Each structure stands twice: as structure tokens, then as C-alpha cells.
Structure 1
Amino acid sequence: MNYFGISTTSAMAPRNSIAEFQELVRSSNRMMALCGAGLSAASGLPTFRGAGGLWRNHEPTDLATPEAFAADPSLVWLFYAWRRHMALKAKPNRGHFALAELAKRKENFICLTQNVDGLSPRAGHPESKLYLLHGSILDNKCFNQCGYIDRNNLSDPICPALAPAAEDYPPDQTLPLLDPNIPAPQIQVEDLPHCPRCKTGLLRPGVVWFNEPLDENMIMQVENWIWQGPVDLMIVVGTAAAVYPAAAYTRKAQRRGAIVAVINPDPDSASGLGPKDFFFQGDAAEILPLLFEPVIGKMDESGKICVEP
């Protein structure tokens, strides 16, 4: 068994025909995609759980909790200010643009992303068809939960005290902030971003941390869409879909009749796919524009459509 809940045998190998998949995309009505960190890999952003190792001798996952922020907001903000800087330096790749174009041309297509980097919105993905499951690192909200949200803040750094996280150094030099042998900048809590509404709470990154629920309204919208009718195609891009509730969406789509297509450089990601499904091994930035070409047209290297379908 595997995370799809399906028995695996060699006789159950998925399809890899580009022509067959292109025809499926062209003829499908209701489609959904689930995207993970692998989608942004070609933009130069490391995966959150990847081989990046420690951050200043801290496990990154240990800094992604409300408890960590309450204990040391300056350290957590330094970590997220650095991640913000990396996200703002990065540019959407052709995979982001291909998904955005598909959303514009297919009325009944929705995209769920676990990424917080803001690259899908910057690629022009229609907001009404994009669900940011884990929030956005470009949003800020009140830690005291007064309801204040500052959306799509592109300031870098987010405040003067966090400037050390927004510095750039030559490729052969290590950013001092990332060197655990160099003392971390001492930042006073009063110099961190504060909530302008309640005046008492700190602002925090607008991402979903461990031990926090996803947005209930967003989840309800996705559930309602799934149960409105049959699902023709479920596209899983750059993720093993192993974290709940994202892991459940593939199974829910299958129960609504969906053919599953996985795009991932890891061959193990094909585990659990059946003979009606598809698996394309490789970089989503290269594969998605080709797979969607009959619907979105031919895309140039910059992500622009140069030949209409």
C-alpha cells in the first residue's frame, strides 16, 4: 500500500504518453491541481524539508510554530525575513506560468498550492482559482489574533531591524546571518513589526505553522468544489502529497472519478498510480508547458505565450 491507499504492482504502471495526456487536458472539464515545493525548485527556492540542513543550528521546522514565535520572536522573524528575501528575489518559472494560463483558459480548473512563496500569484494565476493552503510569506497578521492582515507586502526588509536578513553577498561568500559561528543580530522586540490595529500585538508571518489549522473557509470552498460534480483530472506537481490535509485531496478526486497525473523528478512519486493514470518524471518548469500546450499554446523561455493554441 502507499499514500494513495492503492496496492502497487509492476502491472499497474502508469502511462507516460504526452500526446494522450494532452488530449485528456484538452477534453477535460473539471480539473484540479495540487502543487508543492518542487514547483518552485526551478526558481531557485529550496524545499522546506529538503537537504538544506540546519538554519543557524536550528531545525527549520522548529521555528515554524506559534510556540517558537512566543519564545523568541526576533529569531523567528530573522528566519522568515530571510525566506521572504529569497522569495522576493526569485521569479516565477514556466511551470507557474503554465498553471496560470491553464486556469485562465479552463473555467472549471482550480489549483491548490502548499507553497508560501507568492510565486503563483506573481505569475498571474487568477486569485479566484488559487488556494494558498499554507498561507503566504508575503502576508503579515496579528499574533494576538485581532483580525488584522497585511496582504502581499513586498517590502524587503519588512522593517529596518530585519535588514541583516535582506542582504546579498557574492555566491562564494556566506551571508553572515547564515553562519552559526557568527552571533545573530540582537533585535529588540519593540523594533519588530507591530499590529497597527490593536497596537499591542506583534505582527507575524501570514503562513500556517505546525500545530495550526488551515483556513476553515478556504477548506470548505475546496470541499464544495470537489463535491459539485465529477472530477476529470487531478494533477499533482512537485509534492509527495504526504502531509494532511493535502494528502487527502488526491484520494477525494479519485473517488470523484479523476485520472491522476503526477509530475515529479522523484521516480518513487509514481507509487500507487494505476494504468489509467500518468507519471512524468522531471522538472515541472519544463514539462507543464508542453503538457498543456494544446490548451494554452506554445510558451517561450520567459513564460510568455508566443503561439496561441
Structure 2
Amino acid sequence: MAPSKGLVPAADLQSFTEYLSGCKRVIALLGAGISASSGLPTFRGAGGLWRSYDATSLATPEAFQRTPGLVWQFYSYRRHMALQAEPNKAHYALAELSRRNEDFITLSQNVDGLSQRALHPSKQLHLLHGSLFDVKCTSFYCNYTRENDFTDPLVPALDIPKMASGLHPSATDKTGEEAAKAIHNALGTGEEVDISDASNPIPHLSEDDLPKCPKCKTGLLRPGVVWFGEALPEKTLSEVDRWIAAGPIDLCLVIGTSARVWPAAGYVDEARSQGARIAVCNMDSNDTPGELHFGDWFFQGDAGVIVPEILKGVIGEI
């Protein structure tokens, strides 16, 4: 099918809408591209730096063990940025499709919480990599977890600092210029300091400053995301496997991801083996889960625009 750079070609839209209208069992795979319309920064891939750190080097159990304060500052920043963003129409469109079709499930590789905030039915939303807004205790003897905690910041020490916090006159120079600078800095703009910029200092945090487990009282809480070197959530994978095993699958939506990495690639292959047609929505025409077959669709453009358009025939206007 011909790619679309904005509005979907009428022929593609018609054929997809007709097919979707007859679909019973539908699976969607989501990646970071669906949240691009919401303005969220990504820390994966080339140039994925936070301050002077390769962001992926902070996403490990070993990093948390070595420098829990720094890792929490990174994740608290990401939580804060995600909360500044709003779910876009693609998130709302998929949530509405879920409400209209109980046999539609969404597998998200995103941790940004935007699908949850779009009120996507939780029973039909499976988070493969966890969520920034879940926390769990790190103590081996404690099983405490908390989901969908949108408190920002989790503890006062993780608050994003503001540009100016008070008068700081020079101790040695009392000239009018220094006084004027002090007053200007004290008044400031109330804007937040960009702590992703390494030129802006951040405090060193001790374990006493960080979120503690309310159950065991001693363990540190950690972000409820899947770090490098950790297994994907077994319960989530089991629930998805049960749904797939109930087959057949009519349609697989691939949105904002190339779905070439396990387990996403495996889910596309399994859906196709059960007779599913594949519909991809990505900005880059090369981002496809392998070679598309005759009867598949590729919709090129912003997921926030394309997804509500292609689902409109079934869910109505978003």
C-alpha cells in the first residue's frame, strides 16, 4: 500500500476500515513513536545522554546499587517530564477501541504512563517494560509494590529545582552591579532548572533522601520499570500468551515501533501465523516488522494524527 504523509489515502482508509469493522480479535504493539506527539524526550539510541551519562547505563540494577540517588534523579526527571506531557489522540483512540472491543489487547513497550492517563482499560493494557509510575521495594524479603502513583515528586529531595531560590549577594563586592544581579537572580522567572543539562549542578542524595518502603520501613523503593539485564514481567507475558493461545487473531497493529526486537517481533510473527493482517503506523517507511505482505497496510506519519483517523470508522471522532 502507498505510504501517507499526513492524511491517509482514501483507498487505504476504506480498505482498512472495512477490514477492521469485521475484526474480532485485535492486538496492538506500541513503541515510543506513539508518544512523540506528546513531546516526550527519548533516551534510547544515538545521543541518548542524560547529563554526561549514557542514559542506558543508568537503567541497570548495578547502577541503582552503586548510585541510587543519581538513578532516582534520572527517573524522577523522566516521571516529571511525562506528567508535563498529555496523552494524544492516538492514546485516546486505542482506549476507545478497547472499550468497544473486549477482544482487543494492547502491548506497550512504553513506560511513560500516557496510555493509563488516557484511561485505557487496564485489563486490556499490558506493559512489557513496566511503568515509571509504579514503584517496588528492593528488599529481598519484601514484596511491596504500588501502581499508578502519579505523585510528583515522590519525596521532597527529588523535586525539580527552580531557577532562583533567594537573594545571594556577593560577600566581597557591594557595588550596584552585584546588588542588581542578586536581585535579578532572586526574582528569577520561577522556571525549572533543566537537570538533564550537565552544566546545571544537582545535589548528591543519600539513601535517607530517597523513597522508602512503607511496608518494611527499611528497603529503598525503586522505579517499577524493567532494567537492562532483568526479565520481562512473567505475569504480563503469561496473560498475553493465554490471549494469543485462544486465537485466531484477525489484525495486528504496530504503532510507533519497528517491532523487530523480541518479544514484539515474536508477537507479530505469531499473529501472522494465525491469519492476522498487519497494519503499521510509523514516521519512517523503513520501520516495519520485516517485509509486509500483500494485504497489509503501512501508514506513514504522526501516530497522533494517523491512528484516530484509521480507527474513526469504528470508534467515531476523538
Sort the TM-score into its range (normalised by shorter chain): 0.7 to 0.9
**Residue of structure 1 equivalent to 2:257:** 239
Is the Cα contact below 8 Å between 1:13 and 1:273 reproduced in 2? no
TM-score, length of structure 2 as denominator length: 0.85
Q: Which residue of 2 aligns with 1:306?
A: none
Matches within 5 A, 1:208-223: 208-223=226-241
How far does residue 185 in structure 1 lie from its aligned partner after superposition?
1.2
Shift in CA distance, 182/14, structure 1 to aligned 2, threshold 3 Å: closer
User: Does residue 161 of structure 1 match 2:144?
Assistant: no
Matched, 1:262 2:258: no
What secondary structure does 2:48 align onto? coil
1:178 Cα deviation (Å)? Answer: 2.1
Contact 2:130 2:225 in 1 (8 A): yes
Deviations 1:10-31 (A, max 9, x none): xx98997111001111111100
Deviates more, 1:92-101 or 1:208-217: 208-217
Change (3 A) 1:298 1:13: closer
In 2: Cα distance, 1:217 partner to 1:292 partner: 30
The residue type paired with residue 284 of structure 1 is A
The root-mean-square deviation of aligned C-alpha atoms, in Å, is 2.2
- C-alpha distance in 2 between matches for 1:215 and 1:178: 29
Q: Does 1:78 align with 2:78?
A: no
User: Within 1, Cα distance between the matches of 2:274 and 2:284?
Assistant: 26
- How much identity, in percent, do the aligned residues show? 52
Confirm or deny that 1:284 pairs with 2:303.
Answer: yes
The alignment partner of 1:131 has SS state of strand
Q: Which runs of 5+ in 2 are unaligned?
A: 165-187
Q: Which is higher, the Rg of structure 1 or of structure 2?
A: 2
Change (3 A) 1:247 1:175: farther
- Aligned-pair distance for 1:48? 3.3
- Quick one: which amino acid aligns to residue 127 of structure 1? S
Which aligned runs of 4 or more in structure 1 are off by greater than 6 angstroms? 12-16, 168-171
Q: For each residue in 1:71-92, what CA deviation from the matched residue of structure 2 results, as whole angstroms up to 9, or x when unmatched?
A: 0000000000000000111110
1:46 and 1:52 in contact (8 A); partners too: no
Q: Report what 2:91 is aligned to.
A: 96
1:180 CA drift (Å): 1.4
**2 CA distance for matches of 1:234 and 1:168?**
47
Of 20, 24, 30, 1:29 maps to: 24
Give 1:187 shift. Answer: 1.2
**Is the CA contact (8 Å cut-off) linking 1:264 and 1:280 kept in structure 2?**
yes
Aligned residues between the structures: 286
Q: Aligned pair in 2 of structure 1 residues 255, 274: CA closer, same or farther (>3 Å)?
A: same
Task: Give the alignment partner of residue 180 of structure 1, picking from 198, 203, 206.
Answer: 198
Alignment deviations for residues 163-184 of structure 1 (CA, whole Å, 9 cap, x no partner): 136x58999x883422213333
TM-score (norm 1): 0.87
Q: Secondary structure at the match of 1:138?
A: strand
Q: Which runs of 5+ in 1 are unaligned?
A: 1-11, 300-309
The alpha carbon displacement at 1:56 in A equals 1.1
1:140 aligns with 2:135: yes
Residue in structure 2 matched with residue 8 of structure 1 by the alignment: none
Partner secondary structure for residue 267 of structure 1:
coil
Query: Is 1:297 equivalent to 2:316 in the alignment?
Result: yes
Distance 2:241 2:264 in 1: 12
Q: Is the 8 A contact 1:14 1:276 kept in 2?
A: no
